[in-house]
């Protein structure tokens, strides 16, 4: 799996949307995965070749996230 660190939760969602436009499928929708940490926001995708991709951040704060 290839994982990309983001600074903002908005970037995690943008990563997911961009990958979907290029043929990836969602293997874990963007959102909080609080079993790892209370501020861990991630998305998981499978590219057209079956490789697993992830984008994540540890900075999620619903009060500061502009898309909420």
Q: How far apart are CA 11 and CA 16, in angstroms?
A: 9
Q: How far is CA 24 from CA 5, 8, 28, 37, in A?
A: 19, 21, 12, 26
Each domain of the chain, given as residue ranges in start order, spans 2-57
Determine the pLDDT at residue 20. 97
Could you tell me the two tokens for 40?
A: 């861990």
For 2-57, CATH number? 3.10.180.10
Determine the pLDDT at residue 68. 47
Q: What is the pLDDT of residues 21-66, one digit of tens each?
A: 999 999 999 998 877 788 899 999 999 999 999 999 998 677 777 6
């Amino acid at each position: 799996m290839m994982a990309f660190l983001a600074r903002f939760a908005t970037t995690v969602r943008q990563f997911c949307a961009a990958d979907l436009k290029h043929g990836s499928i969602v293997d874990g929708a963007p959102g909080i995965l609080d079993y790892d940490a209370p501020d861990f926001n991630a998305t998981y995708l499978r590219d057209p070749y079956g490789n697993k991709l992830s984008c994540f951040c540890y900075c999620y704060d619903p009060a500061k996230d502009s898309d909420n």
